[in-house]
Amino acid sequence: MWSAAAPGWERHARFVERREATVSDLLLASLRPGTTVLELGCGPGGLGLAAAERVGPSGSVVLSDVVHDMLAVAERAVAERGLPQVSTRLLDLEDLDLPDRSVDVVLCREALMLVPEPSRAAAEMARVLRPGGHAAVSVWGPRPDNPWIAVLLDAVGDAVGMEVPPPGIPGPFSLDDADRLAALFRGDGFADVQVRAVATPWEGPSFDEWWNVVPALAGPVGTMLAGLPPETAEAIRAACEQELVRYESATGLEVPGLTLVATARR
Ligand X SMILES: C[S@@+](CC[C@H](N)C(=O)[O-])C[C@H]1O[C@@H](n2cnc3c(N)ncnc32)[C@H](O)[C@@H]1O
Please identify, among the stretches 40-48, 78-86, 206-214, 229-237, the one whose residues bind ligand X according to the rule CB under 6 A: 40-48
Minimum distance, C-beta of residue 41 to ligand X, in the bound complex (Å): 3
Q: Is 46 in the site for ligand X (CB under 6 A)?
A: yes
Q: Which residues contact 182 (CB under 8 A, 6 or more apart)?
A: 193, 194, 195, 262
Identify which of residues 3 and 194 has a Cβ nearer to ligand X in the complex: 3
Q: Which residues contact 160 (CB under 8 A, 6 or more apart)?
A: 224, 228
Q: Is 137 in the site for ligand X (CB under 6 A)?
A: no
Identify which of residues 65 and 176 has a Cβ nearer to ligand X in the complex: 65
**207 burial type by CB count under 10 A (0-12 exposed, 13-18 middle, 19+ buried):** buried
Q: Is 175 in the site for ligand X (CB under 6 A)?
A: no
Listing DSSP states for 119-143 in one string gives: HHHHHHHHHHEEEEEEEEEEEE--G
Site for ligand X in 60-119 (CB under 6 A): 65-67, 70, 92-94, 109-111, 114-115
Asked if 209 contacts 253 with a C-beta cutoff of 8 angstroms, the reply is yes
Minimum distance, C-beta of residue 224 to ligand X, in the bound complex (Å): 16
Listing DSSP states for 223-244 in one string gives: HHHHTS-HHHHHHHHHHHHHHH
| Cis status of the peptide bond prior to 165, with omega within 30 of 0 | yes
Instruction: Identify which of 151, 148, 204, 150 has the alpha carbon closest to the alpha carbon of residue 14.
Output: 204
Identify which of residues 102 and 232 has a Cβ nearer to ligand X in the complex: 102
Minimum distance, C-beta of residue 217 to ligand X, in the bound complex (Å): 7
Minimum distance, C-beta of residue 5 to ligand X, in the bound complex (Å): 7
Total binding residues for ligand X by CB under 6 A?
Answer: 21
Please identify, among the stretches 25-33, 42-50, 75-83, 254-262, the one whose residues bind ligand X according to the rule CB under 6 A: 42-50
Residue 53: in which H helix or E strand, if any?
Answer: helix 46-55
Positions touching ligand X (CB under 6 A) are 2, 16, 40-44, 46-47, 65-67, 70, 92-94, 109-111, 114-115
